[in-house]
Amino acid sequence: MTRSVFDPAAAAYDQLRPAYPAEMYDALERLSEMSLRGARVVEGGAGTGIATEALAARGARVLAVDVSLAMLRHHRVPASAVVGRAERLPARDGSVDLVCYATSWHWVPFDQGVAEAVRVLRPGGSLALWWNKSADRDQTWWRSCWASVCRRGVAPGAPYARDYEVHDLDEDLRRTGAFTDVVRHETRWERSVPVADRLAELATHSAVIALGEQLDDFLAEQRATLTAAFPDGMVRERYLTHLHVGRTG
């Protein structure tokens, strides 16, 4: 059976991870110069289908691929979901309009992932990468959270993330020579969630899952920090959704 670090958190991941704003999908259509309606899409690292559901709602025909059978068991569009890897997408050469990764590209070996996307894309197709980045990094409660993870001996990040949070992904895509153009869009948005939901969502992140026996102490510490920062019990989270689109010739 195929497994991933997220297997134990699959149900909570689906219920609690933030989705992506409608404006981002509007930008995806604009930057890729294609309508999602009727588009043939392969979504790598699809997880429980948070992005798959939104793509399908816009009329895309999505094949959702993930290494984790446990995650796919919670998939929101189960008929579209298959077990597979980014390095070996289950699609024919030149058969796809769009290959995309929603908050999962940092788990993909970069050069292999690009080469495989280019293999399955038709001429004029696009590779789209997007993720939600917290815009609260200047806030004490946010800094305290991830400092606490590091203090417990776990480094946030994924195996193929080359300084994922700050490096210029556009330049990495351009240097491959695989794309005629690389463009970017950023969307700012906010949501409010109860402290309990914020804590449960934290427990779906790979670095927090890796805390193991230290998890309960970590969450108790974060509950105290969040309660002090948000005495009304609602955590106001700010996000910046980054979208990068590489268009082929």
Percent of the chain residues topping a pLDDT of 70: 96
What residues contact residue 66 under an 8 Å CB cut-off, 6+ apart? Answer: 4, 44, 45, 46, 47, 72, 81, 83, 84
pLDDT 10s digits, 72-105: 999 999 999 999 999 999 999 999 999 999 999 9
Question: What mean pLDDT, rounded, does the chain reach?
Answer: 94
Residue 143 has a pLDDT of 95
Region of 212 on the Ramachandran plot (φ > 0 left; ψ -120 to 50 alpha; else beta): left
The amino acid at 95: S
* pLDDT band per the 50, 70, 90 thresholds, residue 1: very low
Rg (CA), the chain: 18
pLDDT 10s digits, 185-235: 999 999 999 999 999 999 999 999 999 999 999 999 999 999 999 999 999
Residue 167 has a pLDDT of 64
Fold of 7-134+162-190+238-247: Rossmann fold (3.40.50)
d(CA 121, CA 10): 30
Residue 44 has a pLDDT of 98
Residue 139 has a pLDDT of 96
> Residue 128: in which H helix or E strand, if any?
strand 121-134
With 80 as the cut, is the pLDDT of residue 163 above it?
A: no
Residue 147 has a pLDDT of 94
Domain ranges of the chain: 7-134+162-190+238-247
Closest CA to 113 of 132, 100, 96: 100
Residue 165 has a pLDDT of 56
Q: Parallel, antiparallel, or unpaired for β 61-66 and 40-44?
A: parallel
Residue 132 pairs in a beta bridge with: 241
With 50 as the cut, is the pLDDT of residue 59 above it?
A: yes
Q: Coil, helix or strand for 138?
A: coil
Predicted TM-score (pTM) of the model is 0.94
